[in-house]
Amino acid sequence: MNNSIAELRDALRQASSIAALTGAGISAESGVPTFRGPNGLWRNYSPEKLATPQAFAENPRLVWEWYDWRRGIIRKAQPNAGHVAIAELERRKSGAADPPDGLPDHSGFTLITQNVDGLHDRAGSQNILKLHGDLWIVQCTGCGATELNEEVPLQGDLPPRCRCGAWLRPAVVWFGEPLPAEVWGRAVEASGRAKVFLVIGTSAAVYPAAGLAEVARRAGSRLAIVNPEPTPLDQVADWVLRGPSGELLPRLL
Ligand code: BJW
Ligand code: ZN
Q: Which of 211, 245, 212, 243 is nearest to 230 (CA)?
A: 243
Say what the pLDDT of residue 156 is. Answer: 77
133-140 and 168-172 beta bridge pairing:
antiparallel
Q: Kindly report the number of other CB atoms within 10 A of residue 170's CB atom.
A: 25
Atom of ligand 1 nearest to the CA of 116: 49
Say what the pLDDT of residue 154 is. Answer: 74
pLDDT value at 37 more than 90 = no
> What separation in Å is there between the alpha carbon of 25 and the centre of ligand 1?
12
204-237 burial string, b = 16+ CB within 10 Å, else e? Answer: bebeebbebbebbbeeebbbbbbbeeebebbeeb
Q: Kindly report the number of other CB atoms within 10 A of residue 105's CB atom.
A: 14
Pocket of ligand 1 contains residue 74 by CB under 6 Å: no
Least confident of 33-37, 115-119, 208-212: 33-37
Confidence of residue 188 (pLDDT cuts 50, 70, 90): very high
Q: Which of 207, 225, 245, 252 to mutate to test the pocket of ligand 1 (most atoms within 8 A of CB)?
A: 207
Q: Is the dihedral of CA 153, 154, 155, 160 positive or negative?
A: positive
The SS3 assignment for 12 reads helix
Say what the pLDDT of residue 104 is. Answer: 64
Mean pLDDT throughout 69-77? Answer: 97
The bound ligand whose nearest atom lies closest to the alpha carbon of 142 is: 2
Pocket of ligand 1 contains residue 116 by CB under 6 Å: yes
CA distance 156 to 172: 23
Confidence of residue 106 (pLDDT cuts 50, 70, 90): confident
Name the phi and psi angles at 28, rounded to 5: -60, -40
Q: CA torsion 98→104→108→112, rounded to 10°?
A: 160
Q: Which residues are identified as catalytic?
A: 132
H helices present in the chain, as ranges: 5-14, 47-50, 53-58, 60-76, 81-93, 119-123, 181-193, 212-218, 245-251
Q: Which of 34, 56, 73, 172 to mutate to test the pocket of ligand 1 (most atoms within 8 A of CB)?
A: 34
Q: Which of 252, 193, 243 is nearest to 217 (CA)?
A: 193
Single-letter amino acid code for the residue at 232: P
The whole-model pTM stands at 0.96
Q: Contact 157/116 with Cβ under 8 angstroms?
A: no
pLDDT value at 94 more than 90 = no
Mean pLDDT throughout 115-120? Answer: 98
Average pLDDT, the chain: 94
Tens-place pLDDT, residues 220-242 = 999 999 999 999 999 999 999 99
Confidence of residue 2 (pLDDT cuts 50, 70, 90): confident
Q: Contact 31/74 with Cβ under 8 angstroms?
A: no
Mean pLDDT throughout 34-61? Answer: 92
Q: Kindly report the number of other CB atoms within 10 A of residue 49's CB atom.
A: 14
Domains of the chain: 1-32+79-132+178-253 (3.40.50.1220), 35-76+137-172 (3.30.1600.10)
CA distance 129 to 239: 24
The bound ligand whose nearest atom lies closest to the alpha carbon of 206 is: 1
Ligand 1, atom 57, residue with closest C-alpha: 114
